[in-house]
Each structure stands twice: as C-alpha cells, then as structure tokens.
Amino acid sequence: MRILSRLMACCFVVLLAACQQGQASADRVAPEPLIEPIDPQTNPIAAVRERDRQMKANPDLSQMRSEIMAMIGDAKADDVSQCRVIGFGHKPCGGPAEYIAYSVKSSNETVLQQKINSYNKAAEAENIRLGRMSDCAIVPEPQVSLVDGQCKLTGTSKQEIM
C-alpha cells in the first residue's frame, strides 16, 4: 500500500511538471521552420539560394559557444563565493541541456549572462526548427566548488568545465 501511494505521488509530480512545461512552450514563438519552399526539381538555383538564406538567418551555435567558453576561461577565483552556476543550452523538452561554472572574478557577469541567454534562445529555436526530441529528464542544478583556484561543478559526472 505504501509503494502504491509513493508511486501515485511520483506520477502526480511528473504530470504537474509536464503541465508547467506545456504552458511555458505555449508562450514561446516558434522560429521559421527549415523547409524547402521552392521545389529543387523545378528550380534548383532558387532552392539553393533559399536554403542559404535560411541558414544565414540562424546563428552559429558553435561560434557562440566558443565565445562564451573563451569568456569563462579557466574560471579562476580566490573564494567559492566568486563561483556561479548557470544553465547552458536548451533541451527540446525544456530546461538547460547542461550546467557550467564560471567566476565573477574573471568574467563580466552581466555580459556573460546576456551571451548565455542569447545562446540558450538560439539553441531552443534550433531544437524547434529541426524538430529535435530529448529524454525530458529534469536535471538538477549542480553545486559549485573551488578546486585548485578554479570554479568546478560538483555533484555531477562532468567535473570539468566544457
């Protein structure tokens, strides 16, 4: 009987989380889908041009990621109070794809957060545009600690800053 009540409680929590994610996704504006509006069989040149236009309209996520990681650098800090954790990327079902640690000592926190927010929105738009799916697992935010003068994530399998 206890097992059944625990199972029902878990199901309720999962359903509640799914409803909240569904509401958040209803508020989002979907980006332009990646489609071929021009038939490549009848007009191949125009189809290639349209495809190029669509690809240029979408930001380069790998370049954005590289810029953010360069800003974070080694995440050097003197004290753990200078370390922060932030969600990075976007899972297709919602929530961050991963978490990264950074230091307020070695980074301009406002600019870094703006760049990460832009990256997260671009990653979400790409997931929608490409119709990606994920496991929809809710990943808890890890803790951060100071290891050899660097901010590192703890409580996860990823111990290094990517």
Give a yes or no: residue 159 inside a domain. Answer: no
Give a yes or no: residue 52 inside a domain. Answer: no
Does 69 lie in the same domain as 148?
yes
Q: Distance between CA atoms of 85 and 145, rounded to whole angstroms?
A: 10
Which helix (DSSP H) or strand (DSSP E) does residue 44 occupy?
helix 44-57
Strand 143-147 versus strand 150-154 pairing type: antiparallel
pTM of the model: 0.64
Q: Distance between CA atoms of 93 and 26, rounded to whole angstroms?
A: 12
Does 103 lie in the same domain as 64?
yes
Give a yes or no: residue 110 inside a domain. Answer: yes
Q: Please check whether residue 75 is in contact with residue 145, taking contact to mean a CB–CB distance below 8 angstroms.
A: no
Phi, psi of 19 (to 5 degrees): -65, -40
Give a yes or no: residue 39 inside a domain. Answer: no
* Block mean pLDDT (10 aa), the chain, length 162: 55 51 50 61 82 71 94 94 95 92 92 95 86 86 94 67 38
Q: What is the CA radius of gyration of the chain?
A: 20
